[in-house]
């Protein structure tokens, strides 16, 4: 069952890229004491994710900060090398890029997507959430093949 508003973010390890290479980071470290907007995509470099989803958050990053958001994070079931390359290609400075390579966090959230029919394996559903001090306050999960409620514009308007 998918996480709901009012529930705590589950504990899991994600990976970011640092100057030292892939760096594990706990979900507790990411969310504790902060207002975080996390959006997840089925895959880095995929069309909707690269053309619309990530760019919307890049373009509105300052607006999120002005609205009191401490961290805007993008997550995909990809490895940290792919997430880092995607970030560099997209110019996503200021967006925390999170790799959930084994889908551990995605499964803990109950938001996995079986994309084996598209030769992509297990992925994350397209979603966005707002968390305040580690508790989900808003959750926006897309219907299959849609891109509406998890867009930067929609999430910002619903903070």
Sign of CA dihedral 126, 67, 105, 52: positive
Catalytic status, residue 49: yes
Catalytic residue among 3, 9, 17, 49: 49
- Nearest Cα residue to 106 out of 34, 5, 10: 10
In DSSP terms, 15 is beta-bridged to 24, 99
Residue given tokens 């973010």 in the structure block? 9
- Nearest Cα residue to 37 out of 101, 127, 117, 129: 129
Tokens of 130: 């707002």
Q: Which residues are the active-site residues?
A: 49
């Amino acid at each position: 069952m998918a996480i709901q508003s009012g529930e705590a973010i589950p504990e899991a390890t994600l990976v970011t890229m640092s100057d030292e290479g892939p760096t594990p980071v706990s979900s507790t470290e990411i969310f504790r004491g902060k207002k975080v907007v996390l959006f997840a995509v089925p895959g880095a470099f995929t069309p909707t994710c690269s053309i619309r989803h990530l760019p919307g958050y890049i373009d509105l990053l300052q607006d999120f900060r002005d609205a009191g958001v401490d961290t805007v994070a993008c997550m995909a079931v990809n490895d940290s090398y792919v997430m880092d390359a995607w970030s560099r290609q997209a110019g996503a400075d200021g967006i925390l890029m999170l790799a959930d390579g084994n889908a551990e966090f995605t499964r803990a959230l109950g938001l996995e997507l079986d994309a084996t029919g598209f030769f992509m394996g297990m992925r994350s559903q397209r979603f966005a959430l707002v968390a305040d001090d580690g508790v989900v306050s808003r959750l926006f999960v897309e219907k299959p093949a849609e891109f509406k409620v998890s867009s930067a514009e929609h999430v910002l308007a619903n903070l």
